[in-house]
Amino acid sequence: MPPVFRFAPSPNGHLHLGHAYSALLNADRAQQTGGRLLLRIEDIDATRCRPEFETAIYEDLAWLGIGWETPVRRQSEHLSDYRAALENLSALGLVYPAFESRAEIARLVAAREADGPWPRDPDGAPLYPGDARSLSAGERDRLVASGAPYALRLDMAAACRRASGLSWHELGEGPESEHGTVPARPESWGDVVLARKETPTSYHLSVVVDDALQGASEVVRGQDLFHATSVHRLLQALLGLPEPAYRHHALIRDGEGRKLSKSSRSTGLRELRAAGTSPAGIRRLLGLG
Ligand code: GLU
């Protein structure tokens, strides 16, 4: 079976050099290995994703000389797949609704911090304090019936008891040069959000479901997602999904060493193209020869 690669941008802005690097690494790996390259549009966040950005993604990738298989998988068209995975996790007793707003969570964390530092996740955000985990079934039902908004969270401690000792095969490297067999540490993320009242999935859940459904065998993506792989391995184990290899690549940074964002205009592919840079010039800028 040929290896399967995927590039999975979110259409919430225009692509920049960092996306070009990721897309070209995927395309080059697919070419070197006789593999397939799939494109996935991660458009779950309806408030930020726009059709014109999706069109621009196709144009920019084609301009770079990248070809992909069709049909393209658009996450917004597959909500029932994520709902089914969520139900499987719920049936294992690993999912609970949490009703606090972001501001309430910040207050709960601040109250805990009065007694000393509160743990942070690998992205630096405080862990969810877990207060909703202890609501009674009756209280949960009453709050859901009242129409209150909620997030569905993974009971991380219970999930880790079910699937412990996980690791992944890292072909690239993480921020601390981790390579080879990397131990997964999903507990460092606390009770992650898997879905919300109005949205039956989160990034973590849909990426794991889609990588499995699309048969991704080597996930090539930026180092900013290195630590998220711990959560992905846990969800794969809980859902009985196959395990791809991972190749996390260095991030392209701006002149001040900051990670590129979709609003940093000087590194946008459209701006570079308008200024006369060719696709070969983009490759040279990225050190891809
Ligand atoms: N959609 C994610 C992003 O644009 C990438 C997801 C992935 O490659 O796993 O950052």
CA trace torsion 254, 257, 263, 264 (10° rounding) = -30
Mean of the pLDDT values across residues 269-278?
A: 96
Q: State which amino acid sits at residue 124.
A: G
Nearest CA to ligand 1 atom 2: 9
| Structural contact between residues 186 and 128, judged by C-beta atoms closer than 8 angstroms | no
- pLDDT, one tens digit per residue, over 156-210 is 999 999 999 999 999 999 999 999 999 999 999 999 999 999 998 999 999 999 9
1-77+253-289 carries CATH number 3.40.50.620: yes
For the chain, give every residue range classified as CATH 3.40.50.620.
Answer: 1-77+253-289, 79-252
Atom of ligand 1 nearest to the CA of 6: 8
What pTM, to 2 d.p., does this model score? 0.95
What are 4's strand-pairing partners?
36
| Ligand 1 mutation target, pool 44, 224, 225, most atoms within 8 A of CB | 225
| β-pairing verdict for 167-170 and 151-154 | unpaired
Helices (H) and strands (E) in the chain, counts: 10, 10
Contact residues of ligand 1, CB 6 A cut-off: 8-10, 42, 207, 221, 225
Coil vs helix vs strand at 260: coil
Do residues 175 and 226 touch, judged by C-beta distance below 8 A? yes
- Look at residue 266 in the predicted model and tell me its pLDDT: 73
Q: What is the pLDDT of residue 228?
A: 98
Is residue 255 scored above 70 in pLDDT?
yes
**What CATH number labels 79-252?**
3.40.50.620
Measured in residues, the chain has a length of 289
pLDDT tens, residue by residue, 60-95: 999 999 999 999 999 999 999 999 999 999 999 999
